[in-house]
């Protein structure tokens, strides 16, 4: 079992990442920490608790972190995720409580008390992780590795050059990418292969559980906003790709590269400048290039099925 801390900003695809982590026997989800990104921190934190409530996630710490980027003003993605950050399904009152600790302190505590077996999986802006690195630099040695959704080497989705998670807090990303830990960048080049097609949604719907209904409603809302905003027929489900890489590294191909974060460009702020040829510097990242699409969706469908299984709920 691989232990992970999922640092997220739910977010439709963050919600799918929570479900994949919780429903996969290869993963022990130690904590869900939240950050401002897709929506404000109060909303992403409420959404994490909502997803946990529907999925019956009760033994996982949930803690709220930073409510804005290190230096810049927060820019949200309400145009994709809606006013609530998780528009589409309707939720009752969440029954899962927030831990009183700040996510940055919780991340530090969990890593420092560990024997080096915890993987960080950030799927939002990297503010919490950068703050944790600055407050307790020994976490760099303690973390087993960091596998993040963010960046891209061929495209942007927020500007022509920049992916949203890096664009929102490039200074934080610069800290994380230069920290010196084993880092995997699962960027848009990879996640745009993970499309929630009608066939995939049919498989999930056929499971017929509350969690499968939640997943389908989330993906149907995501489909509409993605169609309107980006001209996709089926929406790319970014964040669970990072979790899938931890579950089974063979689910995607990665290539070593030097990745620098652009923080000053007039048109390119937040760009992950990726050098596969060693001109700019030594390798600091494994960069995801090619997804085993069938294997990815099998992992996702199996996880949702497992969450719905009575044996899991009873335990």
Strands 2-8 and 61-64, bridge-based pairing:
unpaired
In the complex, minimum distance from the CB of residue 285 to Ca ion, in angstroms, rounded to a whole number: 19
Q: Is residue 155 helix, strand or coil?
A: coil
Instruction: Choose the contact partner of 80 out of ligand PIR, Ca ion, none; CB within 5 to 8 A by kind.
Output: ligand PIR
Whose tokens are 């292969």? That residue is 193
Instruction: Choose the contact partner of 157 out of ligand PIR, Ca ion, none; CB within 5 to 8 A by kind.
Output: ligand PIR
Establish whether 238 is a catalytic residue.
yes
* 14 interacts with Ca ion by CB under 5 A: yes
In the complex, minimum distance from the CB of residue 69 to ligand PIR, in angstroms, rounded to a whole number: 14
Q: How far apart are CA 66 and CA 4, in angstroms?
A: 19
Cross-sheet strand order for the sheet of 118-122: 61-64, 27-34, 2-8, 118-122, 145-149, 183-186, 285-291, 252-261, 272-275
> First CA to last CA across the chain, in angstroms?
17
| Residues engaged in binding ligand PIR (CB under 6 A) | 11, 13-14, 38, 77, 80, 123-124, 149, 157, 163-165, 238-239
Instruction: Choose the contact partner of 164 out of Ca ion, ligand PIR, none; CB within 5 to 8 A by kind.
Output: ligand PIR
* 85 interacts with Ca ion by CB under 5 A: no
DSSP 73: P
**Any bridge partners for residue 286, and if so which?**
184, 256
Window contacting Ca ion (CB under 5 A); options: 8-16, 19-27, 98-106, 186-194: 8-16
Mask for 214-253, x = binds Ca ion (CB under 5 A)? -------------------------x--------------
In the complex, minimum distance from the CB of residue 134 to ligand PIR, in angstroms, rounded to a whole number: 23
In the complex, minimum distance from the CB of residue 12 to Ca ion, in angstroms, rounded to a whole number: 9
Extract the tokens encoding 198. 């009608």
Q: What is the largest CA-CA distance in the chain?
A: 55
Q: How far apart are CA 135 and CA 145, in angstroms?
A: 18
- In total, the chain counts a number of residues equal to 315
Q: Is residue 269 helix, strand or coil?
A: coil
* 124 interacts with Ca ion by CB under 5 A: yes
Instruction: Choose the contact partner of 187 out of Ca ion, ligand PIR, none; CB within 5 to 8 A by kind.
Output: none
In the complex, minimum distance from the CB of residue 287 to ligand PIR, in angstroms, rounded to a whole number: 16
* 122 interacts with Ca ion by CB under 5 A: no
* Closest chain position to ligand PIR (CB): 164
Q: Please name the residue ranges forming H helices in 206-263.
A: 210-230, 240-247
Whose tokens are 């990418």? That residue is 177
The residue among 46 and 80 lying less far from ligand PIR, judged by its C-beta, is 80
* 11 interacts with Ca ion by CB under 5 A: yes
**Site for Ca ion, rule CB under 5 A:** 9, 11, 14, 123-124, 239
Active-site residue numbers? 238
């Amino acid at each position: 079992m691989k232990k992970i801390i999922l640092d997220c900003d739910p977010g439709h695809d963050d919600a799918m990442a929570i479900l994949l982590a919780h429903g996969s026997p290869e993963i022990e989800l130690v904590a869900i920490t939240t950050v401002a990104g897709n929506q404000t921190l109060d909303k992403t934190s409420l959404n994490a608790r909502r997803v946990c409530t529907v999925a019956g996630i009760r033994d996982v710490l949930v803690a709220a972190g930073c409510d804005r980027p290190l230096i810049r003003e927060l820019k949200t993605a309400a145009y994709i995720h809606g006013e609530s950050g998780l528009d589409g399904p309707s939720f009752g009152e969440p029954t899962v409580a927030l831990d009183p600790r700040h996510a940055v302190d919780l991340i530090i505590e969990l890593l420092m008390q560990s024997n080096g077996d915890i993987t960080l999986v950030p799927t939002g802006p990297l503010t919490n992780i950068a703050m944790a690195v600055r407050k307790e630099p020994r976490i760099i040695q303690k973390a087993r590795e960091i596998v993040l959704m963010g960046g891209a080497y061929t495209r942007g989705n927020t500007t022509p050059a920049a992916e949203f998670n890096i664009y929102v807090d490039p200074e934080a990303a610069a800290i994380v990418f230069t920290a010196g830990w084993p880092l995997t960048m699962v960027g848009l080049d990879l996640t745009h292969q993970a499309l929630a097609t009608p066939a995939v949604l049919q498989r999930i719907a056929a499971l017929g559980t509350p969690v499968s209904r939640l997943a389908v409603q989330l993906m149907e809302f995501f489909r509409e906003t993605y169609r309107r905003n980006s001209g996709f027929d089926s929406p790319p489900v970014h964040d669970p790709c990072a979790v899938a890489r931890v579950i089974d590294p063979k689910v995607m191909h990665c290539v070593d590269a030097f990745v620098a974060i652009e923080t000053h460009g007039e048109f390119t702020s937040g760009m992950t400048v990726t050098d596969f040829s060693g001109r700019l510097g030594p390798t600091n990242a494994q960069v995801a290039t090619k997804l085993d699409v069938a294997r990815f969706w099998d992992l996702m469908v199996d996880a949702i099925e497992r969450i719905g299984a009575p044996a899991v709920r009873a335990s």
